Structure 1
Amino acid sequence: MTTVPPTPFGPGFPADPYSRLAPFRESCPVARVTTPAGRPVWLVTRDEDVREAFLDPRLSMRGGRTGPYPPTRRALDVTLVGHDPPHHTRLRRLAAPWLTPVRVERYRPVVEAAAAGLLDAVARDDPADLMRFAHAFSFRAMCALLGVPQADRPWLYACAESVFARPVRDRATARANLDRLDAYFHERVKRRRASSGGDHGGDPGGDHGDDVVSAIVSAWEPGGPVSRDEVVSLCATLLLAGYESTAQMIGMSMAALLARPEALAALRADPGTLPRAVEELLRFQTPGPFGTMRTASRDVPVGGTVIPAGGRVLLSIAAANRDPVRHADPDALDLGRASAARHLTFGLGTHFCLGSALARLELTVALHAILTRFPRITPAVPLDRLDWRGNHLNRGLAELPVRPHG
């Protein structure tokens, strides 16, 4: 019998959440633990239980509350994932038609050009930090999607970097930058609303209304159940959530591949296998070890345990993705794994990640560009000494030093 510690959280969790969560999955798959902030939560770790819980409407983002949120200082204080259906559905369908795999594919030339241009800087440095590339690349792709004008991108990028810095270097500056982002998207929505009308189906990535922000504003009905603040928050959340999580997936994927030169060689030899490899990389590493915190709106049975009404619940994506019942030999990176696409990195059900198609496109394009441009790329530091930062909810690499030319 595996000994279960009192909590999986603590020093070293961002670097390796998997070994910390495995004892719970094996011996106590629904466990009462305490977060680093001292709050009691129910931790769910088995694949089967996590899947069922993702689909259970009694595990609520709002704890069963149905009234409107109280007024907030900024629109970004309440995001899409803070709502339950039916209101969540109203918000989501403003953007969902523009983020399907078919529509997102139209951005491939823009994304490929961004990767090629940014890798020029990587080629000039030895060693180079691939995380700098990953962040700049992901941000540029999101700006193309949202139609952010070129002139606005440098200061918006500085704001986003500040907001996601770990550890937080200057809380006052981070709060001020959130205010700037909030104000910026308020103004974008206002301008798009003033000029709305007509078809928004032109070429992607432009600054003239052919973008997802324009599509969202065009689909929005002022005076209806979705408020202006919620539209602003939806647009800003797409930028922020897509920027950081995808950049970290690029870095984590490259770190995993650099640790396995034979996998790198196999991908170069047969680039057609990259889409399946991306699914395995998404299963193998994830920036978000857990889904968004949920609250039981009533007593809810999960995996043979009854979570009482009011109980806060963490669904462990990281533990489920390494569940041997679902994935044989789960701690091995197998780029040909048949079950890889059954990962839960993007969640499941109502709150399935809205930007999953774009994240897959970015990850595929970035990896292909790196492996093609730098056939002899090697790590510049021992990979077991990489600086992992973050917390139990969001983890990532501070940097990924590489020698691009071997």
Structure 2
Amino acid sequence: MSEQGRTIVHDVPLNVAQQPDPYPLFERIRKHGVVQRVRLNPTLEVWMVTGYDEAVAALTDPRLSSSPAGVNGLAEEMAHQERTNVLMASMLVADGSDHTRLRNLVSKAFTARRIEALAPRIQELTDAHLDAFAARGTADLVAEFALPLPMAVLAELIGIPDEGQPDFAKLAVGLIMPPNTPERLAKGARARAELTEFYEPLIALRKKEPRDDLLSALCAAQAEERITDRELTAMAILLTLAGHETTAGLIANGVHALLRHPGQFAALRDDPSLLPGAIEELLRYEGPVSRGVARFTVDPYEIGGVTVPAGEMIIIGLAAANRDPARYDRPDILDVARREVPQQLAFGHGVHFCLGAPLARAEARIAIGTLLRRFPDLRLTDPDEDLTRREGILRGMATLPVSFTPASPVGARAGAGRRP
């Protein structure tokens, strides 16, 4: 196929999120044009958008669907997913009025006031987790900080009880949607089944005995927004998994990037006023969504000078767009003092913009800011070690061993009856 965009220019492997540096691959694809045909696996060819302006256009265009139901060759698989995958009832794959209805439910419960009121508690939980290893002088910031902190915050926000709480970090693969390997799909199915089994009785309890938490607020809003019980369960699972894994990735990726750039680490440590902008730069430079988000063509769709046929998948490369040289000066350079740059796309754009973005920003700002303040000489234990990434479709560190001068705990604790 000689028409622009029709020739396969590169393979984009399923494990691209685990690669040490996937960005040169995205740049090589972009050099052929901002919309290109790529191969995700030996049997699946899709379209990939790598330009910033084109990504914004695609993310805001209602002609593109979030549901893969009409994709060529996936009808049988999607029928199976509709029956077995509770997340197919979530706003993740909803369009139009259905998406508005589901999003309104969360918007009414997931308010700015609720997030603002949570900030002091996020600080307490952050200090409690750091206290646990402060005197030791070493830590694995993934296992001991980046993963458990967002889970502790979500547990309080959503209203997840301590007793019987499943290991949500290990269940995060439940977000995986087709196409993927059979092994990962099976693992995701088991995770969703376990989370469904956990949440269904908890939702029933919150309907009878509401509390001051997000799950109770969702239950209270259910009747007004005409939400089914399955949709409510899907919403709870989506909020838990998305809110945990993405924020953990943001914190770990951000700290790792700063430690790999000592000048930027020092600049942020010495000038905390840079922190809000630095979080945006870390999201742009090394956000948790590397390959991108999927949209699907219902009719032929023109983008970037290429016409994509109906029934095709388009991957909107958020990480690629965030390093588009047409929109960013020196896009491959980490600069925590960047000013007047286009909004980064790590949280998406348009009607599907991540509802949890304010919470993720608050957690990252508090977590990274406190870490730099309390451990000003924080460093990688072995700067030459090639650290691995977490399994899954999101980009995150599997481990992050650090060293620092031992410090005394600040004395803040996570509260009676709750482990840090």
TM-score bracket relative to the smaller structure: 0.7 to 0.9
- Name 1:377's counterpart in structure 2: 378
Q: Cα distance, 1:121 vs. partner?
A: 2.2
Moved more, 170-179 or 261-270: 170-179
- The alignment-based identity, stated in percent, is 33
- Name 2:63's counterpart in structure 1: 58
| Contact persistence 1:64–1:297 (CA under 8 A) | no
- Name 1:9's counterpart in structure 2: 13
CA distance in 1, matches of 2:171, 2:213: 25
Q: Cα distance, 1:269 vs. partner?
A: 1.8
Residue 193 of structure 2 corresponds to residue 179 of structure 1: yes
Per-residue displacement from partner, 1:228-274 (whole Å, max 9, x unpaired)? 10011101211111111110110100011111222222222221221
Q: What amino acid is aligned across from residue 150 of structure 1 in structure 2? A: D
- Name 1:201's counterpart in structure 2: none
- Name 1:298's counterpart in structure 2: 299
TM-score normalised to the size of structure 2? 0.84
- Name 2:96's counterpart in structure 1: 85
- Name 2:412's counterpart in structure 1: none
CA distance in 2, matches of 1:402, 1:184: 35
Q: Cα distance, 1:389 vs. partner?
A: 3.9
Residue 398 of structure 2 corresponds to residue 398 of structure 1: yes
Moved more, 18-27 or 381-390: 381-390
Q: Cα distance, 1:63 vs. partner?
A: 5.1
- Name 1:24's counterpart in structure 2: 29
CA distance in 2, matches of 1:56, 1:169: 33
- Name 1:204's counterpart in structure 2: none
Q: What amino acid is aligned across from residue 170 of structure 2 in structure 1? A: E
1:195 to 206, 209, 218: 209
- Name 1:112's counterpart in structure 2: 123
| Contact persistence 1:258–1:264 (CA under 8 A) | yes
Residue 110 of structure 2 corresponds to residue 99 of structure 1: yes
Rate the CA distance shift 1:389–1:149 in 2: closer, same or farther, 3 A: closer
CA distance in 1, matches of 2:289, 2:306: 25
Q: Which runs of 5+ in 2 are unaligned?
A: 1-7, 71-77, 407-420
Q: Secondary structure at the match of 2:41?
A: coil
| Contact persistence 2:67–2:295 (CA under 8 A) | yes
| Contact persistence 1:377–1:404 (CA under 8 A) | yes
Q: Cα distance, 1:368 vs. partner?
A: 1.1
Q: What amino acid is aligned across from residue 148 of structure 1 in structure 2? A: I
Q: What amino acid is aligned across from residue 182 of structure 1 in structure 2? A: T
Q: Cα distance, 1:78 vs. partner?
A: 3.7
Q: Cα distance, 1:72 vs. partner?
A: 2.8
Q: Secondary structure at the match of 1:301?
A: strand
2:157 to 133, 136, 145: 145
Q: What amino acid is aligned across from residue 47 of structure 1 in structure 2? A: Y
- Name 1:261's counterpart in structure 2: 262
| Contact persistence 1:159–1:178 (CA under 8 A) | no
Residue 216 of structure 2 corresponds to residue 214 of structure 1: yes
- Name 2:74's counterpart in structure 1: none
Q: Cα distance, 1:312 vs. partner?
A: 0.7
Residue 170 of structure 2 corresponds to residue 161 of structure 1: yes
Per-residue displacement from partner, 1:321-380 (whole Å, max 9, x unpaired)? 001111101111111112456100000111101100000001001001111111111101
Aligned pairs for 1:309-348 within 5 A = 309-340=310-341, 342-348=343-349
Q: Cα distance, 1:226 vs. partner?
A: 2.2
Q: Cα distance, 1:221 vs. partner?
A: 0.8
Q: Secondary structure at the match of 2:10?
A: coil
TM-score normalised to the size of structure 1? 0.87
Rate the CA distance shift 1:168–1:241 in 2: closer, same or farther, 3 A: farther
Q: Secondary structure at the match of 1:314?
A: strand
Q: Secondary structure at the match of 1:145?
A: helix
Rate the CA distance shift 1:387–1:92 in 2: closer, same or farther, 3 A: same
Rate the CA distance shift 1:300–1:171 in 2: closer, same or farther, 3 A: closer
Q: Cα distance, 1:40 vs. partner?
A: 1.0
Backbone CA RMSD of aligned residues:
2.9
- Name 2:235's counterpart in structure 1: 234
| Contact persistence 1:252–1:397 (CA under 8 A) | yes
Q: Which runs of 5+ in 1 are unaligned?
A: 197-208
Per-residue displacement from partner, 1:80-119 (whole Å, max 9, x unpaired)? 2111111011011111133344431110011111111111
| Contact persistence 1:21–1:319 (CA under 8 A) | yes
